[in-house]
Chains A and B, each alone.
Chain A
């Protein structure tokens, strides 16, 4: 059984929540003062996920670079693999918000999309 203490990000309180768990199974969850903390801690110990934001190199654009994000959450342990994939992208201008620059990044099922328009040069 694993035991971990987390700081809840649901509000500025920042409750220290202690979770005892093994794999997907949660045995105890203490320290939270509301339901948001319960939900956050469960998610965080079983499937921690984050949105990754960065920039990609643009070719033939009015600017050399534009910003991107993963369209949804990806597993936390894939963040650096995802960053490597993002840094290899050479996107062709023009680009519009929502354009996909990487499909299914690192097998997460999540696309990396443009977050800022970039006109052609």
Chain B
């Protein structure tokens, strides 16, 4: 069996940044395994601009952003395998993979970095009534067809869900001559970024109907019409509010789910809120030496944050390998809790001895909050209280914890993040 110090599962933005960081931290034996035919992941089909404002201080398109990292992978001589699917990761970090050239093969990894990204929620998970004709696509599938394969999925489009990919595709298909009739969102707020609503819908006069969902799909061979209706606070359609749109295409942009089949079968503990692994302050999962970063860990709003998180995962995996794969156990563990409007935190636990001087804790809120406060409690004592004009579920929030502040409280057991009105 061949062996590598670090095996990275996934060659998208998370995997690439993790690889570059691990290499720069002094590890030479690194392998990236990517199932697609090229590196770059989902960024290859995100041809719109707006990436990299935080990282590179300029607005790049997805492929340009990816290439900034791919180029470093080439220059640093980091090994990668394309068209290769990881089938299994064992508890003792044996990675089983296959491709057409090598067949099935196994690699003993010193450390594993999970960077598989996420997948779109499919129609089957939505319980939409109606026929099952051709013409129903997830927004990301339509994006790949239009931007990479050069096919238009249809000419008259209804979009369910206001996730960013759906908004981006509304504009993209309008550019290519399609008519986008309406975007229906079941929640009373949009799941996407404000700038995407303005620049992708408002610019082209495409209506966004909040608190609306699809209640019927017509057409036996191909979609011929879609009916939407308003929903009440109970999320049930309100009789009498139905509107029928003739169309040949329905795009679904109804949420992303981290792709953790491999993590689960390896025995990694999963957080039911994020559907991603539970990680500690060094982004290590419940299996020592298995790290996670990017959208497989929790769905991010900006790729810049993925790159930053993956850079930390890569450096931490390198540190783990150099310590002889036997990071000193012990030390205490502080639990991080999200309550009262905050839905989750990444990480879930902190070992104060191992944490960096400053630790970014990311979370999302469960509803829209205006003129509210993000509060951090150390056990029962409130230690941070920051006013925010607005927080929305579509955007990630963060607090930065200081190591010295935590070390100053040797009895600290729980850090709680919550949203307060005052």
Residues 16-44 of B, flagged 1 when their CB comes within 8 A of A and 0 if not, give 00000000000000000000000000001
- B-binding segment of A18-26, A62-70, A104-112: A62-70
Contacts of A55 on B, CB cut-off 8 Å? Answer: 47, 146-148, 150
User: Is there a chain B Cβ closer than 8 Å to A50's Cβ?
Assistant: yes
Known: A53-B47, A116-B67. A9 touches B199 (CB 8 A): yes
User: Is there a chain B Cβ closer than 8 Å to A121's Cβ?
Assistant: no
Contact in complex: A97, B194 (CB < 8 Å): no
User: Which partner residue on chain B sits nearest A64 by CB separation?
Assistant: B150
User: Is there a chain A Cβ closer than 8 Å to B49's Cβ?
Assistant: yes
A contacts with B, residue count (CB < 8 A): 27
Known: A67-B147, A115-B47. A12 touches B61 (CB 8 A): no
**Neighbour of B44 across the interface among A11, A76, A80, A116, CB < 8 A:** A116
Contact in complex: A115, B61 (CB < 8 Å): yes
- How far in angstroms is the closest Cβ of chain B from A50? 7
Contact in complex: B194, A67 (CB < 8 Å): no
Contact in complex: A9, B194 (CB < 8 Å): yes
User: Is there a chain B Cβ closer than 8 Å to A57's Cβ?
Assistant: yes
Contact in complex: A67, B198 (CB < 8 Å): no
**Neighbour of A12 across the interface among B175, B193, B203, CB < 8 A:** B193
- How far in angstroms is the closest Cβ of chain B from A10? 9
Contact in complex: A117, B67 (CB < 8 Å): yes
User: Is there a chain B Cβ closer than 8 Å to A89's Cβ?
Assistant: no
- How far in angstroms is the closest Cβ of chain A from B301? 10
Which residues of chain A (40-71) have a CB below 8 Å from chain B? 50-55, 57, 64-65, 67, 69
Contact in complex: A7, B147 (CB < 8 Å): no
Contact in complex: B63, A116 (CB < 8 Å): yes
Contacts of B147 on A, CB cut-off 8 Å? Answer: 55, 67
Contacts of B193 on A, CB cut-off 8 Å? Answer: 12
**Neighbour of B49 across the interface among A7, A51, A65, A117, CB < 8 A:** A51
User: Is there a chain A Cβ closer than 8 Å to B389's Cβ?
Assistant: yes
Q: Give complex CA distance A78, B65 in Å.
A: 26
Q: Give complex CA distance A80, B178 in Å.
A: 12
Q: Give complex CA distance A51, B59 in Å.
A: 10
Contact in complex: B199, A50 (CB < 8 Å): yes
Contacts of A33 on B, CB cut-off 8 Å? Answer: 389
Contacts of A9 on B, CB cut-off 8 Å? Answer: 194-195, 198-199
In the complex, the number of residue pairs spanning A and B with C-beta atoms less than 8 Å apart equals 74
Contacts of A76 on B, CB cut-off 8 Å? Answer: 203
User: Which partner residue on chain A sits nearest B50 by CB separation?
Assistant: A51
Known: A12-B194, A51-B59. A57 touches B47 (CB 8 A): no
Contact in complex: A97, B64 (CB < 8 Å): yes
Residues 272-283 of B, flagged 1 when their CB comes within 8 A of A and 0 if not, give 000000000000
Contact in complex: A67, B63 (CB < 8 Å): yes
Q: Give complex CA distance A115, B49 in Å.
A: 10
Which residues of chain B (158-209) have a CB below 8 Å from chain A? 175-176, 193-195, 197-199, 202-203
Contacts of B242 on A, CB cut-off 8 Å? Answer: none
Contacts of A29 on B, CB cut-off 8 Å? Answer: none
Known: A7-B197, A12-B194, A55-B147. A69 touches B61 (CB 8 A): yes
User: Is there a chain A Cβ closer than 8 Å to B304's Cβ?
Assistant: no
- How far in angstroms is the closest Cβ of chain A from B120? 21
Contact in complex: A53, B198 (CB < 8 Å): no
Known: A33-B389, A115-B47. A7 touches B202 (CB 8 A): yes
Interface centre among A6, A12, A14, A79 (most CB of B within 10 A): A12
User: Is there a chain B Cβ closer than 8 Å to A35's Cβ?
Assistant: no
Residues 211-247 of B, flagged 1 when their CB comes within 8 A of A and 0 if not, give 0000000000000000000000000000000000000
Contacts of A13 on B, CB cut-off 8 Å? Answer: 194, 389-390
User: Which partner residue on chain B sits nearest A79 by CB separation?
Assistant: B175
User: Is there a chain A Cβ closer than 8 Å to B392's Cβ?
Assistant: yes
User: Is there a chain A Cβ closer than 8 Å to B48's Cβ?
Assistant: yes
Contact in complex: B395, A12 (CB < 8 Å): yes
User: Is there a chain B Cβ closer than 8 Å to A100's Cβ?
Assistant: no
Q: Give complex CA distance A53, B257 in Å.
A: 27
Contacts of A53 on B, CB cut-off 8 Å? Answer: 47-49, 61
Contact in complex: A7, B64 (CB < 8 Å): no
Contact in complex: B67, A65 (CB < 8 Å): no
Q: Give complex CA distance A57, B149 in Å.
A: 10
Contacts of A67 on B, CB cut-off 8 Å? Answer: 47, 61, 63, 147
Known: A12-B193, A12-B194, A67-B147. A83 touches B67 (CB 8 A): no
Contact in complex: B194, A65 (CB < 8 Å): no
Q: List 25 A-B contacts (CB under 8 A).
A: A7-B197, A9-B198, A11-B194, A12-B194, A13-B194, A50-B199, A51-B49, A52-B175, A53-B61, A54-B47, A54-B175, A54-B176, A55-B47, A65-B148, A65-B149, A67-B47, A67-B63, A67-B147, A97-B67, A115-B47, A115-B61, A115-B64, A116-B44, A116-B47, A116-B63
| Chain A positions near chain B (C-beta within 8 angstroms) | 6-7, 9, 11-14, 33, 50-55, 57, 64-65, 67, 69, 76, 79-80, 83, 97, 115-117
